[in-house]
Structure 1
Amino acid sequence: MSDKVYVFDTTLRDGEQVPGCQLSTPEKIEIAKELEILGVDIIEAGFPISSPMDFNSVIEISKAVSEPTICALTRAVEKDIDFAADALKFAKHKRIHTGIGASDYHIKYKFRSNREGILERAIKATKYAKKYVEDVEFYCEDAGRADNEYLARMVEAVIAAGATVVNIPDTTGYCLPEEYGAKIKYLKDNVKDIDKAIISCHCHNDLGLATANTISGVLNGARQVEVTINGIGERAGNTSLEEVAMILQTHKDVDLHTNIQSNRIYALSLLVSKMMRMPVQPNKAIVGRNAFAHSSGIHQDGVIKHRESYEIMDPADVGVPQNSIILTARSGKAALKYHLERLNYDLSNERVEQVYEEFLKLADEKKDISDDDLIVLVDGKLPEGGFSFENVQLSYESNGQVTSTITMKVGSEEMTATATGEGSVEASYNAVDKIIGEKVNIDEFLVQSIGDRSDAGKVHVRVKYQEQMYIGFGVHQDVVIASIKAYIDAINKIASIKNKSLAGTV
């Protein structure tokens, strides 16, 4: 049996420190429940003394989940620890996470103290937290820049005082992977009773090395990783949960494992992105829109013939329904034929050659080729009919419900439907679904503001229909209308592929 690596998720604490991305208590509870299903071992629910809402969030998360350990952060201050203990009173499994700076930068400039004085405070805080809970984690802040000999003294002292987990943060993201791994090994080799505590990695991404440093720490004996969904966090962010989990899952030779249910990663990534209003960069490893997308003809041909030629993970392993073969000027005939067959075209090789010549000319003019473009290349025109947006009227209730009345043209016929939802976009999408007579599942929804108006935007929506993914775009000075247009754009692509354009037949 391989060694277990404990996953300590701090999305709701360190991750939420991103400016402008704060979560409400109900939102935190929803994410915490999903983290529990994902299989994380510890959820750092907040910093209770920092605000009344953080204090309440730790209480409510403690009530809402039962399997993971619920952790509350403190400084090495008795009042902080009192607040944390009080906030954790309903947790089935509870941990207090206290600590203090370990580097001379922090000791001299932040605390205006000396090494011995800081050591005394570390021991005192650990013993005080131990009065409340058995499970005490101690963080040696800025350990990445700390002197290893002094760091070892601090670690040894807090373990003797009762710490069950010792966190070795690369707080500023300074370390190189070899350097950070050597620091963990030094502690393993030089700290008395080091086996009485779990060593934890908490790495920041200031130099883009958070995941590499965390893996290096694990390979040198650390058995807990402190991570966030999508790698969110202060400054350049924290170590990404999905990256660490999939590295360990993919590299079976390292003989380490986590309890993460990897097929739930993508859905949780989307949820966190939506709730924190923080889009995931397209090229983000594991969960980015382009993580399983192929546009080079050589790569496309290889993936179509045998997926593992260019993919070391099955998209389904992380909850992505399928990879994407993107048509661009760099695509080859194999990719074109793949998409033509997906659109139910059975063309001879000679006809594919003819379409390919026209495709290359069009691809030189456009960044991406859509399904509509392919239909026009083959048939000379789009099918008659289609859906188009006409008008929307919104009304808002005191209970937060929104009513949306949508008018659309279906071919030459005008149709109207009314529906409700918890927001303007949800209500409008529900009304559109009434008109088309079928529910279409939203897989991804991203908004980008444009111009000087806060309500203007570009909307990207990806929907799933019969195991296929379709992308729609919308732009408007009103972001709700942009959202509706994006949704209808995706639906039109489904209708074009199915060669249907009447209400109720998408």
Structure 2
Amino acid sequence: MNSQKYTRQFFKAPDTGHRWADKTYIDHAPVWCSVDLRDGNQALVVPMDMETKLKFFQLLVKIGFKEIEVGFPAASETEYDFLRALIERNMIPDDVTVQVLTQAREHIIRKTFEALKGCKNAIVHVYNSTSKAQRDQVFRKSKEEIKQIAVEGAKLLQNLTDEAGEKYRFEYSPESFTGTEPEYALEVCNAVLDVWKPTPDRKAIINLPSTVQLSVPSVYADQVEYISDNLKYRENVVLSLHPHNDRGTGVADAELGELAGADRIEGTIFGNGERTGNVDIVTLALNMYSQGVDPKLHLDDMPDIVDKYQDYTGMTVNPRTPYGGSLVFAAFSGSHQDAISKGMHYRKEQNTDLWTVPYLPIDPTDISRSYDADVIRINSQSGRGGIGFILEHDFGLRLPKALASAIRDEVKLESEHQHKELTPNEIFDLFIDRFEDVRKPYGISHVTFRQHNGIIATITTQFGNRSAEITASGNGRLNAVSNALKKAYGLEYDLDTYEEHALEKSSSSRAIAYVGVRSRKSGVLYWGAGVDVDIIRASVSALLTAVNNMVNAEDTALSE
């Protein structure tokens, strides 16, 4: 690799004071313009057919885009016919403006205006390249000659619009703005504006495309701020950005550009576009949303948007794509899961609408994602907090911490054994299998109680084919049953933990009991759980499971 053959192709803007750097957040949504149907479509391996583009247009309208670039009508019959279909089928809502792209060349501009006949609201977007590299290598023209191309294109747009009796709005882009001397780009833009003379009721759009990213985002922000400060007719100009993503900083370019004075953003949903793509409008919009700013787009059904986007374009939304990816809220790490679980409980305790849950920049349910399927994901890396959250959120189990640790160990072993993530139902099934109603080697088929200097329990217990009736006393019902089990089989353990709670809130509520017994031989704590409408039966079932888990584990260890 030879880095010496590369040089910096950007030009530093005259100093404007870097005022954008003093701003800490974006406080309002820009005007959004989707270019999915033009810039995005031309970047697809297999461009969309007519009917697919029409469905994609309807999706963009549903999301809330009020400006949509629908194509380059003079580039191909497909593009031309698509615009005609939108117009002739009356598919463009009155509050939506379609945008069409054209080079600053007469025959292309005229073809574009033919395609627009009958369109109510349109933006005609004209461009020519102004960068030093393009001037020297592609066009071999002087600055003055390049500026004249822009001016002549602007005049033709004005004349053809007047001839058509329309009030189309105009947009001009100095293509490859990022490789253009800022002072020269400003000169060209102002020359175009002198032709159009924008007014408050018919503003012009000046678009500053990062056609190829050439610098760090702060340089782009300085360039934008310089243009914004020095444009003629500034109050009647909508300053627009069209960031690409060659350096992976499309979102940063757009956000800093907005701080620097931009009013409008052109981009695509999920960032599709040539090379590394355009700026991702979903990310930009939900970044604002996470700061308490309404982005003015409807992104509340993200799974549906992702599914349609993938269907229409043949592209795949990477699982780690911000907000839209299937894994962007997923926490596999035990410490992350624990923090999320505690954050959710804290929010409930505080009874607050404010969202400050650790590791989750927005509430996943706001964009139709669920906590169980999308947030707490369980594999061999997961901790007790996440597993406990799943069992509580999905199944109503509020596990004691030590029991949560025990089921975590079982989940880790199972996940490692299967080499996969476990679903909530698989975790619940594992809990039942390991900690609920384990009835071997010992069983209890019947229990009666009476009071005499405490509680006396009589149990009917089974071991193999043998059955026995054993009586013992205790300071409580569970303690009495426990003492009877010890007496029957010579077991050595202590009752360590007992907790219970209702599973359902109704007149027929079931209860769940959790019992932990500590072996006197090993000092290990073993767990059981029991469920019944009667809390005593649930407690006895939990005790029996805990004892059986102890005996099975210690017999296995002894045999090994």
Answer whether TM exceeds 0.5 for this pair.
Answer: yes
- 2:217/2:256 contact within 8 Å kept: yes
* Distance in 2 of aligned mates of 1:302 and 1:352: 15
* Distance in 1 of aligned mates of 2:44 and 2:28: 37
- Report Cα offsets for 1:76-110 as digits up to 9, x if no partner: 11121122222222332111111100111111222
Matched, 1:96 2:145: no
Amino acid at match of 1:117: E
Cα displacement (A) at 1:318: 3.0
- Summarize the Cα distance change of 1:91–1:269 in structure 2 as closer, same or farther, 3 Å threshold: farther
- Within 5 A, what are the aligned runs for 1:465-484? none
- Report Cα offsets for 1:393-423 as digits up to 9, x if no partner: xxxxxxxxxxxxxxxxxxxxxxxxxxxxxxx
* Distance in 2 of aligned mates of 1:309 and 1:119: 53
In structure 1, the partner of 2:158 is: 130
Alignment match of 1:193 (pick from 229, 233, 249): 233
* Distance in 2 of aligned mates of 1:352 and 1:314: 25
* Distance in 2 of aligned mates of 1:342 and 1:265: 22
- Within 5 A, what are the aligned runs for 1:281-430? 281-307=318-344, 308-322=357-371, 323-341=374-392, 344=395, 346=397, 349=400, 351-365=403-417, 366-371=419-424, 373-375=426-428, 377-380=430-433
* Distance in 2 of aligned mates of 1:319 and 1:126: 45
* Distance in 1 of aligned mates of 2:424 and 2:296: 40
Amino acid at match of 2:182: N
Structure 1 window deviating more from structure 2 (209-218 vs 127-136): it is 127-136
- 2:286/2:295 contact within 8 Å kept: no
- Summarize the Cα distance change of 1:82–1:261 in structure 2 as closer, same or farther, 3 Å threshold: same
Alignment match of 1:146 (pick from 180, 186, 209): 180
Alignment match of 1:64 (pick from 69, 91, 94): 91
Cα displacement (A) at 1:376: 5.1
- 2:239/2:262 contact within 8 Å kept: yes
Amino acid at match of 2:278: N
Structure 1 window deviating more from structure 2 (330-339 vs 351-360): it is 351-360
- Report Cα offsets for 1:286-324 as digits up to 9, x if no partner: 101111111111111121222422212122333434442
SS in 2 for 1:15: helix
* Distance in 2 of aligned mates of 1:338 and 1:291: 18
- Report Cα offsets for 1:188-225 as digits up to 9, x if no partner: 22233233211110011111011100111111111010
* Distance in 1 of aligned mates of 2:300 and 2:429: 37
Cα displacement (A) at 1:125: 0.5
* Distance in 2 of aligned mates of 1:146 and 1:318: 40
Alignment match of 1:51 (pick from 66, 76, 79): 76
* Distance in 1 of aligned mates of 2:208 and 2:92: 27
Structure 2, unpaired ranges of 5+: 1-25, 162-166, 199-203, 345-356, 435-560
Matched, 1:247 2:270: no
Matched, 1:24 2:32: no
* Distance in 1 of aligned mates of 2:41 and 2:331: 33
Amino acid at match of 1:316: T
- 2:121/2:168 contact within 8 Å kept: no
* Distance in 2 of aligned mates of 1:89 and 1:261: 31
* Distance in 2 of aligned mates of 1:197 and 1:232: 28
Q: RMSD between aligned alpha carbons?
A: 2.3
Structure 1 window deviating more from structure 2 (360-369 vs 50-59): it is 360-369
- 1:300/1:334 contact within 8 Å kept: yes
SS in 2 for 1:216: helix
- Summarize the Cα distance change of 1:309–1:128 in structure 2 as closer, same or farther, 3 Å threshold: same
SS in 2 for 1:263: coil
Alignment match of 1:212 (pick from 252, 260, 264): 252
In structure 2, the partner of 1:475 is: none
- Summarize the Cα distance change of 1:105–1:319 in structure 2 as closer, same or farther, 3 Å threshold: farther
* Distance in 1 of aligned mates of 2:27 and 2:395: 47
State the aligned residue count: 378
Alignment match of 2:298 (pick from 245, 261, 280): 261
- Summarize the Cα distance change of 1:195–1:346 in structure 2 as closer, same or farther, 3 Å threshold: closer
Cα displacement (A) at 1:165: 0.3
In structure 2, the partner of 1:121 is: 149
- 1:156/1:194 contact within 8 Å kept: no
TM-score normalised to the size of structure 1? 0.70
- 2:218/2:256 contact within 8 Å kept: yes
Cα displacement (A) at 1:351: 4.9
Alignment match of 2:102 (pick from 74, 79, 86): 74
Amino acid at match of 2:311: K
* Distance in 1 of aligned mates of 2:205 and 2:132: 23
Cα displacement (A) at 1:353: 4.0
- 2:285/2:295 contact within 8 Å kept: yes
- Summarize the Cα distance change of 1:161–1:371 in structure 2 as closer, same or farther, 3 Å threshold: same
Amino acid at match of 2:300: N
* Distance in 2 of aligned mates of 1:193 and 1:343: 59
| Higher alpha-carbon Rg | 2
Alignment match of 1:159 (pick from 171, 193, 218): 193
Amino acid at match of 1:340: L
In structure 2, the partner of 1:221 is: 261
Structure 1 window deviating more from structure 2 (330-339 vs 264-273): it is 264-273
* Distance in 1 of aligned mates of 2:143 and 2:74: 26
In structure 2, the partner of 1:15 is: 40
SS in 2 for 1:279: coil
Cα displacement (A) at 1:342: 5.2
Amino acid at match of 1:32: F
Cα displacement (A) at 1:41: 2.1
- Report Cα offsets for 1:45-75 as digits up to 9, x if no partner: 0111111111111222343121211011111
Amino acid at match of 1:139: S
Matched, 1:42 2:79: no
* Distance in 2 of aligned mates of 1:338 and 1:42: 43
- 1:242/1:265 contact within 8 Å kept: no
Cα displacement (A) at 1:159: 1.1
- Report Cα offsets for 1:121-149 as digits up to 9, x if no partner: 10110121123253010111000111011
Structure 1 window deviating more from structure 2 (62-71 vs 201-210): it is 62-71
- Report Cα offsets for 1:454-483 as digits up to 9, x if no partner: xxxxxxxxxxxxxxxxxxxxxxxxxxxxxx
